[in-house]
């Protein structure tokens, strides 16, 4: 599992590569929460290179979404492969999270900064 970060305007982009599972979920959660602690309020998680996500990985996404919501921030998820999107659908997360097809579409979802 690797994580790449990129700042595009005031949006922090987090690209996940590999598998997000019980063996690395705690470390990924720690990294993501550190990003929020540094003040990130507009976060895009790019799943285009993620091959697998477990329930522990889903929990990480939910924790990040809740923290951002509490801070008045915004989370957009993009680039899910069909089998990853199916996991989000079955879990009910597609109904509560902002999920789009591409990174470009995700960046367009962020409201202009106040």
Is 90 exceeded by the pLDDT of residue 8?
yes
Ordered by start, the domain boundaries in the chain are: 2-43+53-97
Identify the residue whose tokens are 């996991």: 87
| 2-43+53-97 placed in CATH 3.30.750.24 | yes
pLDDT in the model for residue 113:
55
Three-state DSSP string of 37-90: HCCCCEEEEEEEEEEEECHHHHHHHHHHHHHHHHCCCEEEEECCCHHHHHHHHH
| Per-residue pLDDT, 7 | 96
pTM of the model: 0.95
pLDDT at 14 over 70: yes
The Cα 70–Cα 51 span in angstroms is: 29
pLDDT in tens, 54-102: 999 999 999 999 999 999 999 999 999 999 999 999 999 999 999 999 9
* Mean pLDDT value across the chain: 96
The answer, yes or no, to whether residue 111 has pLDDT greater than 90, is no
Percent of the chain at pLDDT > 70 equals 96
């Amino acid at each position: 599992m690797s994580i790449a970060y990129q700042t595009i305007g005031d949006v922090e982009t987090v690209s996940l590569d590999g598998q997000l599972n019980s063996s690395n979920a705690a470390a990924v959660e720690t990294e993501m929460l550190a990003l929020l602690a540094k003040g990130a309020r507009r976060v895009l998680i790019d799943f285009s290179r993620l091959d697998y996500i477990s329930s522990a990985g889903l929990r990480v996404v939910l924790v990040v979404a809740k923290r951002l919501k509490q801070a008045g921030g915004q989370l957009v998820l993009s680039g899910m492969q069909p089998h990853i999107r199916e996991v989000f659908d079955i879990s009910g997360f597609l109904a509560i999270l902002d999920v789009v097809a591409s990174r470009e579409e995700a960046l367009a979802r962020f409201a202009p900064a106040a």
